[in-house]
Structure 1
Amino acid sequence: MNPQADGELEVRVACLDDLDALVALENATFSTDRAERRAIRHAIRSPSMTVLVALLIEADETNVLVGAATLERRRNSRSARLSSIAVASSRAGLGLGGRLMQAVEDEARRHGCTRLRLEVRADNGAGLRLYERRGYTRFEVREGYYEDGMEAWCYERALADDAADATQEPPRQRRSG
């Protein structure tokens, strides 16, 4: 199914006007380990973080926030970290996670990063499939990482330039554990 079936999708950098919708998405998507309003506001304003929003622009010109992702960068580091990604449950399965991941990877490259890392709950099947399809490799398991005691699986991917991405097959997955 096409995520744009009901309208046009736009992915852009978040602004403070998106704060209420971002907080609502955070609360609707995550039952634990939620970012608080002030943390989201900080991320929007931070020079070392980028919050991306996916907006569905409907036929009546209204914008509906249907997804978001937060990218963290450190000074003097070529690695970036995806600290959060969320898609509205009403839009799950429409390819929005992949569109957000592409935007995150593009943003990391734009800031000179050559590697992207992330953590995902071991019980998040949709997230695990998304990352593995995009060529991410699991390199570590962190026991008790989340508030409820769930372990995190840590993934990373080298970010080749756009031309290489278009012609290169994703690396084979390395299984661990």
Structure 2
Amino acid sequence: MEQRSFSSDLLSRAQYRRHLDSDSALVLVASDGHQHVLGAAVLFFRKGSGVARLYSLATLPEARGRGIAAALLEAAVTAARRRGCRALRLEVRSGNSAAIGLYERRGFHRIGHHPGYYEDGEDAWRYEKPLD
């Protein structure tokens, strides 16, 4: 899924396995009747921190436009709230207007800029959503 969703900064199978077994990470999966994975979100939680991080949100190209990313994002917000987090943060490619629109429509606010953040040199915007 990572290879079909992103051109760089991919999570490996080993990283996914490690995150699945970690107490400080949560992997959320969207499937089509539990048969085909359509998308996934990876969240990180730092002990003693009230801020969760949405590390990755991926949707297969053929599944886009069906509300899967929005559903995964809402599930991530719910999971962060359940863990007692006060905010959810993420980074997004500065040129990814579809993702930026999704985040802004869901109450995320731009809080920072990271020049050259991604492996290919593209900048990132940092966003945050208060969860109180």
Is TM (by shorter chain) over 0.5? Answer: yes
**Alignment counterpart, residue 85 of structure 1, candidates 43, 53, 57:** 57
1:29 aligns to what?
A: 5
Letter of the aligned partner of 1:121 in structure 2?
A: R
Q: State the TM-score, normalizing by the size of structure 1.
A: 0.73
Letter of the aligned partner of 1:79 in structure 2?
A: V
CA distance in 2, matches of 1:88, 1:75: 31
Do structure 1's residue 138 and structure 2's residue 110 form an aligned pair? Answer: yes
1:111 aligns to what?
A: 83
Aligned-residue RMSD, C-alpha: 0.8
CA distance in 2, matches of 1:67, 1:30: 12
Ranked by relative contact order (alpha carbons within 8 Å, sequence separation 6 or more), the top structure is 2
CA distance in 2, matches of 1:98, 1:108: 15
CA distance in 2, matches of 1:35, 1:88: 14
2:32 aligns to what?
A: 56
**Per-residue Cα deviation, 1:63-120 (whole angstroms, up to 9, x for no partner):** 1100100000000111000000001110111111110000000111111111000000
Shift of 1:40: 1.0
Aligned-pair identity (%) = 44
Give the structure with higher Rg (CA). Answer: 1
Give matches, 1:62-73, under 5 Å: 63-73=35-45
CA distance in 2, matches of 1:116, 1:128: 15
CA distance in 2, matches of 1:28, 1:97: 15
User: How many pairs were matched up?
Assistant: 132
* 2:127 partner SS: strand
- Segments of 5+ residues of structure 2 without an aligned counterpart are none
Q: State the TM-score, normalizing by the size of structure 2.
A: 0.97
* 2:44 partner SS: strand
Shift of 1:37: 1.4
CA distance in 2, matches of 1:94, 1:87: 10
CA distance in 1, matches of 2:83, 2:66: 28
CA distance in 1, matches of 2:107, 2:12: 31
Letter of the aligned partner of 2:118 in structure 1?
A: Y
- Segments of 5+ residues of structure 1 without an aligned counterpart are 1-24, 161-177
